[in-house]
Structure 1
Amino acid sequence: MADTQGNPTEFDRALRGTLIGLWAERMARAFWPCVTLGLLFGAALAFGVQDVMPAAWSSALGLGGLAAILVSMIWGAWRLDVPHRADAARRLDQTLPGRPLTAMADQVAVGVDDPGTQALWSAHLARVSRILAQARAVPGDLRLSRFDRFGLRYMAATAAAVAVLFAAPSRVTELGGMAQLPGRAEAIALGPSWEAWVQPPDYTGRPSLYLNEVDRPTLQLPQGSLVTIRFYGQPGIMSVDESLSDRTEADPAAMAQDFTVESSGRLSVRGPAGRDWEITALTDAAPRVTLAGAPVRERGGLMRQDYTAEDDYAVTGGQITVALDLDAVDRRFGLATNPDPRDPLQIVLPLPASGARDSIEDAFIEDFSQHPWANLPVVLRMGVEDARGQTGQSADAHVVLPGRRFFDPMAAAVIELRRDLLWARANGARSLQLMRAISHRPDSAFRSQQARSRFMDTRDLLQASLSDGGLDAATRDDLAQTLWDLAILLEEGELADARARLERAQERLDEAIRNGADPSEIQELMDEMREAMRDYMQQLAEQPRERGEPQQGEGERREVTQDQIQQLMDRIQELMEEGRMEEAAELMAQLNALLENLQVAEGQGGDGPPTPGGEAMEGLGETLRGQQELADDTFGELQEEFREGGQGQGNQPPGPPQQGDGQDGQEQQGQGQQGEGDPQERGGASANDLAERQRDLAEALRQQQLQPLPGEGMPEGDAALDALERAQRAMEGAAEALEEGDSGEALSRQADAMEAMREGLRAMNEAQSQDQREQAEGDAASETGNGDGRDPLGRARNQGGEVGTEQDMLTENDAYERARDLLEELRRRSAELDRPEAELDYLRRLLDRF
């Protein structure tokens, strides 16, 4: 169809476009195998498959590839259904509403002479003509997935694209040479040629070089780069001359050669179109590592050693070596025996999981508290390695291996017994004798029946092992573990049992959540965990300040309140009741991680004003540590007296040690003998020095009692003052005993002073916690409203102070959704830093509370 002036109409253009689409569709369906084979064959030639195949196989590949392409082309031409204009009209008609082309060919069957029928038919044809005027070309269907189910066309297209980008497409022209018959191929002389590549080591990150395209006479290559050279043509015409590698027996004229760049030198390709390069080998320096200061003891006895490591490219590994520094060990008491041989510790150095490793500033953290060398002199050395296998060592550091410290006197004595057994099995008899001396008066030595029972069982096991012919290594290790657990019990008291119950409850509840236990069982386990949590947090809150290790950056630690932990447990139970076990398991894992490094604060956390008497409590803690050190020195003086055959004044045998952090507290045993001479003369200036130090500590404690202390006017504060007064009197009595040369009596008074100070600190902690709770309640009361009958969000309250009525309350599900929406809105607004500071502060307080 065309207009009266011969111009093509929209329908004609649509019909021609549809016909073109039909040609594309049928050509693609007929010839896609031919195109796929052609692309694959061309990609194989571009990548040089013919170079790695024998001549006969190369010829067969060429002939076979051409034959396959020709056959697929003939098969496609035979399958091609040539489209005609009628096919295009039929497809176009099927896509238009009402099939207008078919309607144009119809005839009026009834009422041909009826004017009304003719008018209706004319209107119908006019509507059909308007539809035809709006016709658009129908594109061809080029989807071939039902014909090429394995996607071979995509593989071929990808191979061809890679060949164009990275191979040599011009090599496709070698097809004529490949197609020669084997008998005639030998008669055709190919000109000699060569190719050379350089592949630097992967860790350098440098790209590969194709030497045929490098026209510079000088090159810089990393040491260890792999050079690959290939010759083509008649053998013997071309050769390689190089002074880069260490090879000595290689054939310079070999058709395939590979060698590694080890040093600077010259590389020459001799023969037609040969080339020369002066190569400079970039030496890979060995890595370097430096220890940054001495190791630091962190909370719980963990050792932290900062270090810096550097390399040209990357540090790939390392280890830290710990060896006993036997010459620096104070060889007294249990350490006087020659130690059992132990190999130095070799510990893999953890490296950063991400980021560059050419320069590392990190810290090595490990717990050596249970190792026999804990708190003893050692030689520390760190080594690192790079990808080339080169190593670097740090300078030897002569340090004391950090480990957990025990402040309870009996716990320190038990740890020293354990150390002696691990130091040498020959100390078994001596340790048994000391344990008998300690258990001579068990009621005064142990505060709990459980600790006393464990100590007796350990003593009996050691005695039985020695009676059976000696202490073997396995029994020694079992005894060491038992003594360690006993020391933890003595140091932490009920806190250790509370923590063990909490860990068991956590494990059982976590297992029940993951295994889909019955709701009644989960409820029972949740109640058990709540009870264990309450006991643990109560014991943790009562733990004296001096029991923990000194903290760095204490003001930055995160405080967790009991209310927050309770809310987290309520949320876990709520998720389990709703059947959302995966989310409950995730929250349970977060709770476990939180409890591993728990700092408890009763009431609301946050940064508040300094608590009254906080500086005084810090000073009391320092005084207590000074008293502990003085008790150590007093006990050492007492040991020296017994070693010389004397004892302190009085005829009673020395009791169990009261302090022993690093000293052999069990050396005093059995009945002491009356020494000769005056103890004052034996003690000399040492006793006077100890007495003077004791007087200074007593005076410092008296001055601290005059400062503002937590809980003044409260029962807890009065109890703390009474305890500190008892401690001061005990210190003064210890000073008098030291002046008289009675070290045993002084040691007893010092133990009484330390126990009284601990009681005072516990009472002040309770008073301080009470102050914090009252302050938190006051802050919460002041934040509930603005005094005008409206809540913080500006809503009107009723007379009872409540917001809204029962009719206004949402359903349970709507309440949860509304709460989540409000929480998300609060988080979004708090992240907008352009808001006023007062508003941001209010939003943060809302998030902290909810």
Structure 2
Amino acid sequence: MQRQTTPLTPVLTRLRRPLTLTWAGLIAERLVRAFWPLWSLVAAVAAMLLLGLHDLMALEVVWGIMVAALLAFVIFAVRGLRAFRWPSREDALARIDASMPGHPLAALADAQAVGSGDAGSEALWRAHQARMAERAAEARAVEPDLRLSERDPFGLRYIALLGLVVALLFGSVWRVGSVAGMGPGGGAALANGPAWEGWIEPPAYTGLPSLYLNDQTGEIEVPEGSRVTVRLYGEVGALSVAETVSGRTEDVGAATDPEQGFDITQDGTLMIDGPGGKSWTVTALPDQGPSVQIMQTGAETTFDGQMSQPFRAKDDYGVVEGRAVFRLDMAELDRRHGLQADPDPRDAIELDLPMPITGDRIDFTETLIENLSQHPWAHLPVTLQLEVRDADGQAGLSAPEQMRLPARRFFDPMAAAVIEQRRDLLWSMENGKRVTQVLRAVSHRPEDGLFRSETAYLKLRVILRRLETLVRHDSLDKAAQDEIAQALWDLAILLEEGDIGDALERMRAAQERLSEAMRNGATEEEIARLMQELREATNDYLRQKMQQAQRENQQQNGDNPPMSDDAMQMTQQDLQDMMDRIQELMEQGRMAEAQEALRQFQEMMENMQVTQGQGGQQGQSPGQQAMEGLAETLRNQQGLSDEAFRDLQEQFNPGAQSGQSQGNEGRDGGQGRGQSHDQQGQQGQGQGGQPGQPGEGGQEPGNQQAENGGPGDLAGRQEALRRELERQRGNLPGAGTEGGDAARESLERADRAMEGAEQALRGNDLPEALDRQSEAMEALREGMRNLGEALAENSQQQQGGQGQARGEAGAQESDPLGRQAGQGGRVGTQDSLLQGEDVYRRARELLDEIRRRSGEGERPDVELDYLKRLLDRF
């Protein structure tokens, strides 16, 4: 008889695989639901046996539990067999059909009951069958429902499974065999006979688990220094311990002592003699010493002298600490010029190596980051050797690496000369006289452009006179040597970095190089390097602009220029976001858009005006008024110093036209005038022009002084300026704060320096007056910085004034790693963790402090919980 076919037959042929998978899932589902109590019981009993819990119980209790377990096993097995039903093919087909809308499989198995002879009805039925066939073709295997939460609401199956996992990790299969001893006649023998147990604990720093001797057979390999503990039970003398692994010759107890402990120091045997005893061959694995090597790839030095030296360290159990040692390589040193003298005794440079904060320290690569630019050995040949230690105290050394001590390079000729003399002075105090001679020679009759400003020249004169005095009186000691060296370093930085014009040129050059690289299709590494160079140049330019805004208070009597309608207000964070956008466009290959964004950024930076706040005297706080008053005093002092300098030039160069040479510009640009010439009520506004031309304010007392030899008039003005400073010091805000007290001390030093300058001017000692005036200006600047910090601590950062960048120096605080918080109301920072101080060392110090505090039990529970959460991250 021919088999009847329906529209469902071809569909079932295509659904053979989903149907089989669904059928297998039904089997698993019914097995789990029927037998979950059975396998939960088996897991619980197995966990108890593996953990040896039966050895801790009385024999009667163990037998009672075993009988109850066996009874429960039979009950659960019978109930499971009764509840289990083998699924059929139709069950699987119904499960798939139920998972689809409209039950297409059942529809395909149906036959038309009404309208069999009607053409329209038959067409409609065929359309329905076709649609159901399409839907049935999309059938997929149905996942089994293995959830047992309704049948096991207390999660007993999970408890049994957890116990089995713990038993497999910490238990032993051999403990199951002790059940046989609990049979008839065996329990008494075990209870009354001797027994033992022992452990081998490797040193804690290895991180290895302890070994249970009862589970060990044959050979055992453990690290040297592992601790063996053996306990003997039963009658004393029935069991004894024999070993050759400790190498002990003194203080060896009896072999039958109930509890024994010793350390493994060598290979040997360990034996327990007596009933049930065992023996093992023990191999002591020596702790290998650590190793470290200096890596050449990745070593670099930034423009400001920050060194990055990668290294790789390894140890079998982990490196604990390390250090880098730089030693002067006298054999490679070119002993010429200032290096001919015997050097002053100086210790080698020792730096702590950064260690990984997270992860293990078995094999790792880190980078030593440090700036040694101010060290006397900068750019001299040295040998670098790294040393690492493990927890056992073993040390590993790298091969000595010959190099020149990485440091900042100075490209300005005068700055390079100053740095060289600084090095010679730090090399040996005997070079003091030679350094003064060289500095006086290179600064004699300086050509135009040799010094960026008169300020730099004045600083050099002050340093030179100070050093000459020390050498002349044979009073150059270590403290004075360091003081002069620091002054020379600051002078070299001033000569190298220059003023805001130099910063703008560096920023333009960085922008041009980046633009050229984008046009020429440079590599991603080259573009990233140029982008970082642009960021650094931009930050330097912004810093110079901020300093200029602080120095030059262009709005007199509280009048601010009106803000144009199309002016924008931007913060430094906004500028950083613009540079991030440019870098993102370059990384995406959208060079045309990046070029346009870079052009707009360049135009905006060149047209930027930095302001510090709105308003003048009206509406200003006492702190702002005090800052403006000190800034005015500093400008007046600068003007007096410029005039005294020109008078000194006239003494050595009588042919000059009253100091009005083209190369003798004051800081305000007027020929032959300092800034004091521009002060209202004292001098006219120096407009430049021809010698003798009056300013817009009337007469020119500065020129009359030059002609009449005006030190006496300068002394009177110096005295008036000192009295004005005394008045400002009496009204200085911030009393009682650290910054306010520091500002007052700085202003007191400025007052004493002004008094010394006044006396020197009255005695016509212009060089001494210049030295004292320079000291007064430096003390004034320090006082203004301290006052600004005091005001920033007591008030929130004030909103910037009209312009394209705003901010207030000192108003931002940094986190423990030295990063500044987000600007412009933003959360977060874009500062890198690899800039500034050694953040690895700082992070390690913070982690050690957290660990120390977490170990102090007297601290509140809330604080201890918080410290533990911090440590969980590491």
Into which bin does the TM-score normalised by the smaller protein fall?
0.3 to 0.5
For normalisation by structure 1, the TM-score amounts to 0.40
Length-normalised TM-score, structure 2 = 0.40
